[in-house]
Amino acid sequence: MFQHPVLKATALLLGVLLVACNAPTAQQLSPTPASPPTQTVPIKASRVVALTSLSADIIHRLDKTKLIGMSGSRLLSQNPEFTQVTKVSEGRSQPNLEKIVALKPDFVIGAAGFHDPIVSKLQAMGIKTMLTKVDSWQSLNDLTSTIATILQSDPQPLLRHYQTFIKPTDQPASTLVLVSRQPILAPNKSSWAGDLMTRFGTKNLVAELQGQSQFGGYITLSAEKVLQANPEVLILVDTGQGEAEKFKSEPFWSKLNATQRNQVYVFDYYGLVNPGSIDAIEKACIQLRKIFT
């Protein structure tokens, strides 16, 4: 069936940002009612299934012996240490409940929103779970510390490793990050990408703006607004559909200060929009350091 290109792009974006905004984040760490932890008796776990690549990566770095199941991800597939970990899902598909249960986990970590259905089923079986959301640097730290407590591990080496990623600029340039073309979406300060811009001390031109976008932390811009913002630095996000390259066909493209100064950069979706994995975050930060320092 023919699908209008705008509708097709919007549908793709819905899928992409759904995973991004519902990827592991610690500000909404909410253990399920089936196993409510208390401040005096924290949850302890030794057999953990991670339904996001980031939580799997964190668990592996804190105590790899306790990671027994994970979602399949291209971000971790090249690491041979993950090949022996049972995969309970691939891509953006929902995890296989039977595979999870067969592993006999004592804890399952999922993404708020995306994994709600399967987490509800696991709750009903008495399996302890946690829904997470990572949309800021602080939430990454919080998630790491919480997982470390659950695993009875020391989070400090990993937290210190994170600190090496960030190097604030002393010469902030006006910057605009565009994560999609139809519609044109840009992250404000209430998103992972927007918070990264803040950490690097850049002047995110839409940091304080609030819009009508259905995606939390993102605002919708018109071509006129992009031209009006006229950033010194323009960052485009590659979602694997060639959208970054298509921006060059927009009428405003040649008029922008950033394009005239050759200050246009393309970033992978993972690391900048969706944290994805620790290596993906570090790679994005390295790119940002090259631009702003």
- CATH code of 217's domain: 3.40.50.1980
Question: What is the model's pLDDT at position 91?
Answer: 74
Statement to judge: residues 151 and 180 lie in one domain: no
Statement to judge: residues 24 and 126 lie in one domain: yes
Question: What is the model's pLDDT at position 53?
Answer: 95
114 pLDDT more than 70: yes
CA dihedral angle for residue 29, residue 35, residue 36, residue 42, rounded to 10 degrees: -80
Statement to judge: residues 148 and 212 lie in one domain: no
pTM (predicted TM-score): 0.85
- Residue where one domain finishes, among candidates 136, 163, 190: 163
Question: What is the model's pLDDT at position 103?
Answer: 97
Query: Rounded mean pLDDT of the chain?
Result: 85
> Rounded CA gap, 21 and 107, in Å?
22
Statement to judge: residues 118 and 231 lie in one domain: no
Residue 7 corresponds to which tokens in the numbers above? Answer: 């509708």
Residue 171 banded pLDDT, cuts 50, 70, 90: confident
Structural domain harbouring 146: 19-163
Question: Which of 141-155, 184-198, 235-249, 264-278 bottoms out in mean pLDDT, i.e. has the lowest?
Answer: 235-249
Q: Is 240 inside a domain boundary?
A: yes
- Residue where one domain finishes, among candidates 163, 183, 217: 163
For the chain, how many structural domains are there in total? 2
- Residue where one domain finishes, among candidates 131, 163, 195: 163
Statement to judge: residues 98 and 178 lie in one domain: no
Region 83-95: what's the mean pLDDT? 88
Interaxial angle between packed helices 53-63 and 156-163, expressed in degrees from 0 to 180 and rounded to the nearest 10: 120
Percent of the chain exceeding pLDDT 90 equals 70
Statement to judge: residues 228 and 281 lie in one domain: yes
Partners of 110 in beta bridges? 131
Question: What is the model's pLDDT at position 239?
Answer: 83
3-state secondary structure the chain: CCCCHHHHHHHHHHHHHHHHHCCCEEEEEEECCCCCCCCCCCCCCCCEEECCHHHHHHHHHHHHHHEEEEEECCCCCCCHHHCCCEEEEECCCCCCHHHHHHCCCCEEEEECCCCHHHHHHHHHCCCCEEEEECCCHHHHHHHHHHHHHHHCCCCHHHHHHHHCCCCCCCCCCEEEEECEECCEEEECCCCHHHHHHHHCCCEECCCCCCCCCCCCCEEEECHHHHHHHCCCEEEEEECCCCHHHHHHHCCCHHHCHHHHCCCEEEEEHHHHCECCCHHHHHHHHHHHHHHHC
Name which residue leads in pLDDT, 42 or 3.
42
Q: Tell me: the pLDDT tens digits for 18-71?
A: 443 333 332 232 333 333 333 333 589 999 999 999 999 999 999 999 999 999
Query: 180-181 and 184-187: which strand pairing?
Result: antiparallel
